[in-house]
Amino acid sequence: MDGTTGEAKVKSLAKALKILSCFTIQEPVLGVTELAARIGVSKSNIHNILSTYTSMGYLERLPDGRYRLGLKILEYAFIINQQLGYPNAIYDILVDTAGKTGEIVYFGLPYGDKVLYLYVAHPADRMGVLPYRDILGETAPFYCTGIGKAMLAHMPEEEWLSRIPEERRQYQPNTITDLDAILEELRRTRRRGYAIDNSERDPNVRCVGVPVYNSGGSLVAGISTSGPSVTMTDRKLLECAGILQNAALKMRERIYR
């Protein structure tokens, strides 16, 4: 899966579809004025698009007049999920890996210059007590996440620049934003076989990630485990890296596309 796109052939359709991309985990509900400003069209034009989306189930209009994504989107999400074939192939491995690491484990896909977090597994004995948020369904940049750096480092080097945004946000004091430093970090990651996020995306959280290949040897995803920096010592990061690499080998035997 990849979020990269070429130039839109039908610009009116592109604007209409862009409305759907405005809804995120952080902003699940938006009003007409907000959407019109973001898309760059008049309120009357966007109202017609929103009415069409609502009548077809792609959006839902709330009592206060604002909108959120409709269940039709969820229907398509289930179809895509089944087509990918990942739930049956990898979820039990994720759960087992979470138990072995004692931390949350994520499975994500490359999506343009970002990671799309598709699945998450918690250690059974720590459900609901881990002191950091789930990011299931969110996206995050490759350059500052363990799972993202793990995937990007194992892509062809000539693709790296297209996957690193020109404007890089300094999420935390440890976030690496200098391009040369990012490229060197990717080369270091590729040599050792796993990536480290040293509180670069979220405060006081350390993460280790590894790439996931399919049975044909193509890079398709990544897995990572995250924990509080006080317990995710260098020794534990190395231990978790080995656990994740074993999990990735098991996934490779089951993923055929």
Phi, psi of 186, deg, nearest 5: -65, -40
Write down the pLDDT at residue 13: 86
Counting beta carbons within 10 angstroms of the beta carbon of residue 250, is it exposed (0 to 12), middle (13 to 18) or buried (19 or more)?
Answer: middle
The CATH architecture annotation of domain 11-75 reads: Orthogonal Bundle (1.10)
* C-beta pairs of 121-130 under 8 Å, 24+ apart in sequence: 121/91, 121/94, 121/95, 121/97, 122/98, 123/98, 123/99, 124/95, 124/98, 124/99, 126/102, 130/103, 130/104, 130/227
Report pLDDT for 7.
Answer: 55
Residue 40: per-residue pLDDT: 85
pLDDT at residue 241 in the model: 97
User: 11-75 and 85-254 share one CATH topology?
Assistant: no
- Which class is 85-254 in CATH? alpha beta
Domain ranges of the chain: 11-75, 85-254
pLDDT at 114: 92
Predicted confidence at residue 251, as pLDDT, reads 95
pLDDT, position 131:
47
State residue 25 phi and psi, 5-degree precision.
Answer: -60, -40
pLDDT of residue 81: 64
User: Do 109 and 115 meet the contact criterion of CB atoms below 8 Å apart?
Assistant: yes
Q: What is the pLDDT of residue 83?
A: 66
pLDDT of residue 236: 96
Q: Which residues in the chain come in under a pLDDT of 50? A: 5, 131-132
